């Protein structure tokens, strides 16, 4: 098991999460790829997207069926600018690579928004710290384990 995945799995256990991290036969760096491999709707994939909100890391857990409206998110947060982070910023903030960023297991807490759209799915799939790993969860559990704020992000 990759060290990032082991870290995420341990953190999920500490937080009392129900799902277990699963290693997949191939990388699933996009919501479409993950949904195809898991046999679920794209909307049930919780994309973990890292943004820079006035230079500070922001994690947006959004449905794979959505694009994040950065202007709307900036307004909700009361910041001047929200922009997509580059790979180095993502790795620095999370310790994980783009395509595998988990909702938990980061070096320090990250301000988090959780797309309300995910509440429409009984099972939501999130990355497990590496592009080859995912875990099943729920909207409610994502909000709880991340300390995230429910939000309309599209």
Quick one: pLDDT at residue 29?
Answer: 81
Going by C-beta distance under 8 Å and a sequence separation of 6 or more, which residues neighbour residue 20? Answer: 9, 12, 135
Provide the 3-class DSSP secondary structure of residue 116. Answer: helix
Q: What pTM does this model have?
A: 0.95
Percentage of residues in the chain with pLDDT exceeding 70?
100
Query: What residue ranges define each of the domains in the chain, with the CATH number in brackets?
Result: 3-151 (3.90.960.10)
DSSP assignment string, 19-86: ---EE-SS---SHHHHHHHHTS-GGGEEEEEEEEETTEEEEEEEETT----HHHHHHHHT-S-EEEPP
Model confidence at 141, pLDDT cuts 50, 70, 90, reads very high
Model confidence at 50, pLDDT cuts 50, 70, 90, reads very high
Q: 31-47, pLDDT tens digit by residue? A: 999 999 999 999 999 99
Instruction: Tell the burial category of 48 from Cβ atoms under 10 Å away from its Cβ (0-12, 13-18, 19+).
Output: buried
Quick one: pLDDT at residue 30?
Answer: 86
Model confidence at 90, pLDDT cuts 50, 70, 90, reads very high
């Amino acid at each position: 098991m990759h060290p990032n995945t082991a870290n995420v799995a341990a953190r999920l256990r500490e937080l009392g999460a129900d799902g277990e991290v699963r290693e997949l036969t191939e990388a699933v760096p996009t919501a479409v790829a993950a949904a195809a491999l898991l046999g679920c709707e794209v909307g049930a994939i919780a994309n973990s997207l890292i943004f820079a909100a006035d230079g500070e890391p922001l994690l947006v857990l959004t449905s794979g069926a959505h694009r994040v409206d950065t202007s709307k998110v900036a307004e909700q947060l009361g910041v001047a600018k929200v922009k997509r982070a580059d790979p180095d910023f993502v790795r620095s903030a999370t310790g994980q690579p783009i395509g595998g960023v988990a909702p938990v297991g980061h070096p320090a807490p990250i301000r988090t928004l959780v797309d309300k759209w995910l509440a429409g799915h009984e099972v939501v799939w999130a990355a497990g710290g590496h592009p080859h790993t995912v875990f099943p969860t729920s909207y409610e559990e994502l909000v709880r384990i991340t300390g995230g704020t429910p939000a309309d992000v599209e």
